[in-house]
Structure 1
Amino acid sequence: MKCTSIALAAAAALALAACGGNDIGDNANAGNNSNSGANANALPQLGAATPGTLAGTCAALAAKLSYANTVFTTVTDVPAGTLTVAGKPIAEHCLIQGNMNQRVSSVDGKTYAIGFEMRLPLAWNGRFFYQANGGLDGNVVTATGEIGGGGPTNDALNMGFAVISSDAGHSAAQNPLFGLDPQARVDYGYNAVATLTPMARQVIKLAYGKEPDRSYFDGCSNGGRHAMVAAARSSAQYDGIIAGDPGFHLPKAAIGEMWSAQQLAKVATATTSNGLPDITTGFTAAERQMVASKILARCDALDGASDGLIEDIKACQANFSLANDVPTCTNDVRDGTCLTTAQKDAIGNVFSGARNSAGAALYASFPYDAGLGQGWSAWKQSNSITLDPAAAAFTFTTPPQSAAVLSQLSAYALNFSMDNDAPKIFATGGVYTESSWSFMTPPDETDLSALKQRGAKLIVYHGTSDPVFSSNDTTDWYQRLTAANGGDASNFARLYTVAGMNHCSGGPSADQFDMLTPMIAWVEQGKAPDSVIATARDASSASPNADVPSSWGAGRTRPLCPYPKVARYKGGDIDSASSFACS
């Protein structure tokens, strides 16, 4: 659910080179179709994008811009160096800002529109990039084309892409109460992407004299959810889609967050100023560090190297036992070196995932991993009672709660009924004709046949220490996708888990990586990414990650392996990716 406060972003997607609804056979740049020849089961091979140049000036483009129900409020030149990425100046480009479908809600009387921003480089690489933003959206983030991971060293705009970002149909001032308006819910869920995409392609055609040869879609957290939804709903428009730590079951994950808060409240030792349990005292920083050390003791070497990274996360779950491997406090005296029996029950429930009173799972379980630091705590012990309840109350519950709940979100979270309130994510009623489960999730998440048969590709990555969207949920999806594709989906969709990484970045991990460059090679050259190199942002990094242990060597790298393969140590420099093999 990333935003400045809820979650982060990174994923990419690709469109046809021909004008609106033309299929791949009409695309002059489609390249050789590998369905012909020896392998009749091979997928189409899309051709490479060809570059172009902005035709005229931004001012000249402004005079030509026109699209139904759209107001272009700003069209201006941005000089080289105005924006930078990793200290490098971004080249001169044209900034376009505007909004679509402005209206006054008949439900709450507020004015809504789909706000957007496009940035068009003078020297264009022939590609379009949809930058899906995180959290509850509501902000038009600078359209630089974030490409995921921590401390990125490049972005899509700097690489020559035409980039768009949007607020998904509501403003920051309307968060989270936009959920009172049924159309704003649908825009946030999927309609903003569907509405903006053809407009953006038309603007690009006016600017460069042709539509994009290739179109990519990228986002992390809720942006990853947008990406997963686009893979199903907008498969004809995007050829390469990158979904990071995807909250594609976001309504259930919000329930899971409140479940976690309720469990930690049971073992809290203090109260807050409003008289509610202080859930940060249910599992302190010292206790989290202690548990992480016990997990590492049991699991670190399972991949062949004792290096602070648990690559074989599946084997770890079979080897680690919270009950047996963590000391139990004597006489319930908590000193940071043990957990009480009640704490073990509560924390075990957090990792087991939300359930109702009948024991039915309401969200996925979470794997035990070493990333139990501040990033983990921020979600489980803060956002779980301040941010997620807002999404659940107003956007995911039908009918939405009264606005008065906004002033008592912690109480709402701690009293949320897993039996009576949780089912409301599937409800409809009155003006709310689509349930949150309908507008937030892919319509059929394991049927990506339309994307596949076009020759388009999907890359998903997920941190195994993500505390809000479970990597277990994503690996379960990938297993089901694999089953739906005859036991192997790797010719069009690949999943990469990131050991120790929290939500989209951070944690004791190698979290700096570029999924976009290998995605382009896969889509346009047929070179499937057998692994992606990730770097740990230690103290010597331009953007250090405080969670990287000082004991790790400078510039440590690791291969991110396509699931279910695991990075296993084969000998050599413990800090070099070349010392590991995916197997």
Structure 2
Amino acid sequence: MNLKDRFPAPLALLLLGASAYSHAATPIACNALLNQTIEGATITSAVLNVATATLPEHCEVLGSIGQHTGADGQSYAVKFHLRMPTSWSERFYYQGGGGLDGSVGGADAAQINQGYAVVSTDSGHDAATNISAVAGNAEFGFDPQARLDYGYDGPARVVQAAKAITRTYYRQKIRYAYFEGCSEGGREGLMFSQRYPDLFDGVIAGNPGIDLPKAAVAEAWDTQAFASAARSLTPFGFPDLATSFTAAELSAIGDAILKECDAKDGLVDGIISNPHACRFDPRTLGPQGSGLLSASQVTALRNVFDGARDSKGRALYAGWFWDPGIAAPGWRLWKIGPLFPGPGNTSLNTTLGGSALPFVFTTPPNSKTAGRPGYAGTVITTAGPAPSLPGLNDAFMPWLLSFNMDADAPKIYARSGIYSQSAMDFMGTSSTDYRRFRAGGSKLIVYSGQADPVFSSKYHIGWYRDLIDRTGGVRDTQQFARLFVVPGMNHCGGGYATSQFDAFSALVKWVEKGQGPSALIGTAPADTPWPGRTRPICAYPAQPRYTGHGSIEDAANFVCVAVRDDNDDDGDHNGNGPGHGNDNNNHQ
């Protein structure tokens, strides 16, 4: 295929005048990209921006892919934002999304100041316009293609198009391509490494929502557990989750966990570095113990930390590590709220999770729940008074409280009518087939907060252990994939932890120089009990151990020691619920 076949006439003429992909070639005029269609992407804006205090001179491109009218009658498209600096390092960086996506993002990651072309995307729907009175900004869950775009198709098409635009603009090949994201962005990173193993040389998947529909089921489980311990009702008549535990009670629970488990890693320092050895029992704080907690509070904690289960006791998601990070604000905001003051429940489990599970992860979307004792089956009739902020005023609470773990949880595996792929089909990310990823020389860094309240680090460890088993051992697995668990850290940061670390520089060094990180050096931020403390965050299964000499505030006085992991209570971590397979590595 010649240039005239590949590119529209105006652009082809520009390219014919230069040596294609010449190392010394200068970029074409930015506005020459306007209105061009490249790799299925229509460029709607192309502007050369002068340097500012925060961004270098760069060509800023906006575009869209796959515009269509959805099954719900709304207009959908995969929109993207690409910035290409005039001084280019021949590197490409994908800035991962978050939550339900729906925002095109700023493509303004720090890497642009290092010469990277940077892209971001909304993953196929607009949270400001694809909304409804019933589903809020989870409305896209009613459109089969928008579901797939969110799960994998949209990001993949953006990478392919953005890479092609980048090559066209610079008239050079991309030397290295990187992905970085946390939460839903972390899930996207695993998705790329499994479904599209040739797209990136290096991937960082932070606190990834592995098999996110399962985590959403766990959010409903947690909501029901904490509802049983609520001390009062909201004005709408539902249990007020925020009253299930006070901040002082959570702090006392954190202290009790430390008292029981801190020394099990060989050093009393306010950090639990050997979580598998921790066997905390909340009953020690209940009526038969210290009396700090009521019987209903003890039961709620035991149910939550044991993990979501059906009526036969089969795990639907992993349990959670007992970690003092339970006392940090980030844990409370997800589990019980309030995220912000309001008349109803505003935890992220009941708002973000409360919209994702019924509309995006259940098939068909918003199907009637089967009900459970005290809560009859129901469908969602309103997202609340503000569709752009769904779940307020307890809009989703009836559905979450009536969600049945036997009858409703399997709907994340269901297919129905126009919904030919289940939620686990398009969102599942627990494949352990990394043959192509490894053969191509690509590298993967996964990090996880040990006190993450929404995506359990037990699930992350369980998946990684499965990867080790399939690969043939820790040493072989660490040739291409390494997991780092951060004690005390909540979701993507926060908590009582050395939560500030540079995973990206470590990834680049691994990809470009072949030097894989045995540890990341974490620093404790100002809002922790030990600001400025540093610790090695060791590559699993190693854990940090104090050498016995020097300050315990300095990472230099710790070493990473391989520790046998005999823990066997991680719950359902391998991507396969009872009777349901999930190996999504071949969806190319």
- Under a length normalisation based on structure 2, what TM-score does the superposition of the two structures give? 0.82
Q: Percent identity?
A: 42
Contact 2:100 2:356 (8 Å CA) reproduced: yes
Of the candidates 347, 351, 359, which is equivalent to residue 386 of structure 1? Answer: 351
Residue 248 of structure 2 corresponds to: 286
Structure 1 residue 144: deviation in Å?
2.2
User: Within 2, Cα distance between the matches of 1:312 and 1:568?
Assistant: 10
Contact 1:313 1:367 in 2 (8 A): yes
> 1:66 offset after TM fit, Å?
2.9
Q: Which amino acid aligns with 1:479?
A: R
Name 1:322's counterpart in structure 2.
282
Find the residue that maps to 1:297 and give its secondary structure: helix
> 1:278 is matched by which residue type in structure 2?
D
1:141 has 2:112 as partner: no
Task: Identify the match of residue 478 of structure 2 among 490, 500, 517.
Answer: 490
- Aligned pairs for 1:162-181 (under 5 A) are 162-173=117-128, 174=130, 175-181=137-143
| Cα distance in 2, alignment partners of residues 507 and 499 from structure 1 | 9
Q: Give the aligned partner of residue 581 of structure 1.
A: 559
Q: Residue 14 of structure 1 aligns with which residue?
A: none
Render the CA deviation track for 1:148-178: whole Å, top value 9, x for unaligned.
xxxxxxx222222111100000001322110
Q: Which residue of 2 is the match for residue 217 of structure 1?
A: 179
Label 1:126 to 1:339 Cα distance change in 2 as closer, same or farther (>3 A).
same
Deviation at 1:78, TM superposition (A): 2.8
How is 1:278-427 mapped onto 2 (pairs within 5 angstroms)? 278-316=240-278, 318=279, 320-324=280-284, 326-328=285-287, 338-372=292-326, 373-381=328-336, 382-401=347-366, 404-407=381-384, 408-427=395-414
Shift of 1:51: 8.2
Q: Are 1:558 and 2:517 matched, yes or no?
A: no
Q: Which residue of 2 aligns with 1:430?
A: 417
Question: How many angstroms apart in 2 are the aligned matches of 1:498 and 1:160?
Answer: 30
Between the aligned partners of 1:293 and 1:76, the Cα distance in structure 2 is: 55
* Alignment-derived partner of residue 52 in structure 2: 81
1:280 to partner: Cα distance? 1.3
Contact 2:23 2:172 in 1 (8 A): no
Other structure's SS at 1:156 match: helix
Deviation at 1:94, TM superposition (A): 1.7
Aligned residue-pair number: 499
SS of alignment partner, residue 396 of structure 1: coil
Stretches of structure 1 lacking an aligned partner (at least 5 in a row): 1-19, 21-49, 84-89, 146-154, 331-335, 539-545
Query: What amino acid is the match of 2:533?
Result: R
Partner amino acid, structure 2, of 1:404: T
Q: 1:475 aligned to 2:429?
A: no
SS of 1:194's equivalent in the other structure is: helix
After alignment, is 135-144 or 405-414 more displaced? 405-414
Q: SS at 2:178's partner residue?
A: strand
Q: Contact conserved, 1:287 with 1:337, CA < 8 A, in 2?
A: no
CA distance in 2, matches of 1:568, 1:121: 43
Give secondary structure in 2 for the equivalent of 1:140.
coil
CA contact (8 A) 2:25 2:172 kept: no
Task: Answer whether contact 1:52 1:126 (CA < 8 A) is retained.
Answer: no
Closer, same or farther: CA 199–68 of 1 in aligned 2, 3 Å: closer
What displacement does 1:329 show? 6.9
Q: Deviations over 1:268-322 (max 9, x none)?
A: 1100010100111112211110000011112222223322111112222x3x222
8 Å CA contact retained: 2:380, 2:396: no
Distance 1:284 1:329 in 2: 20
Q: Give CA deviations for 1:520-575 in whole Å, capped at 9, x if unaligned.
A: 1111111011111111111xxxxxxx3x12xx1x4211111000100111131111
Counterpart for residue 236 of structure 2:
274
Deviation, 1:80, is 2.3
Secondary structure at 1:172's aligned position in 2? coil
State the match for 1:499 in structure 2: 487
Contact 1:290-1:337 within 8 A present in 2 as well:
no
1:122 CA drift (Å):
1.3
How far off is 1:403 after superposition?
6.0
Task: Evaluate the alpha carbon distance shift between residue 182 and residue 403 of structure 1 in structure 2; reply closer, same or farther with a 3 A threshold.
Answer: farther
Task: For 1:315 and 1:130, locate their aligned partners in 2 and report how far apart those are by CA, in whole Å.
Answer: 38
Paired with 1:279 and 1:62, the residues of 2 have a C-alpha distance of 51
Q: Contact 2:523 / 2:532 at 8 angstroms: preserved in 1?
A: yes
The alpha-carbon distance between structure 1 residues 54 and 91, as it changes in their structure 2 partners (threshold 3 A), is: farther
* 1:321 partner amino acid: D
Counterpart of 2:60 in structure 1 is: 95
* Number of the residue aligned with 1:455: 441
Amino acid at match of 1:125: S
In 2: Cα distance, 1:51 partner to 1:223 partner: 32
Code of the residue aligned with 1:497 in structure 2: it is: V
How far apart are the structure 1 equivalents of 2:25 and 2:502? 26
- Secondary structure at 1:117's aligned position in 2? strand
Question: Retained in 1: the 8 A contact 2:101–2:127?
Answer: yes
**Structure 1 residues 52 and 303, CA gap change in structure 2 (3 angstroms):** farther
Instruction: Give the letter aligned to residue 291 of structure 1.
Output: I
In 1, are the aligned partners of 2:286 and 2:298 still within 8 Å (CA)? no
Question: C-alpha separation between the residues in 1 aligned to 2:226 and 2:500?
Answer: 32
**Using a 3 Å threshold, how does the CA distance of structure 1 residues 101 and 465 change in structure 2: closer, same or farther?**
same
| Correspondences of 1:56-75 after superposition (within 5 Å) | 56-62=28-34, 65-75=36-46
Per the TM alignment, residue 62 of structure 1 is displaced from its structure 2 partner at its CA by: 3.8
Equivalent residue number for residue 202 of structure 1:
164
User: In 2, Cα distance between the equivalents of 1:272 and 1:329?
Assistant: 30
> Out of 498, 506, 522, which is 1:518 matched to?
506
Between the aligned partners of 2:203 and 2:25, the Cα distance in structure 1 is 25
Unaligned runs of 5+ in 2: 1-5, 7-21, 131-136, 337-346, 367-378, 385-394, 562-588
Aligned to 2:190: 228
Considering only aligned residues, what root-mean-square deviation do their CA atoms show, in Å?
A: 2.0
Deviates more, 1:172-181 or 1:396-405: 396-405
Report SS of the residue matched to 2:308. coil
Per the alignment, in what secondary structure is the counterpart of residue 566 of structure 1?
strand
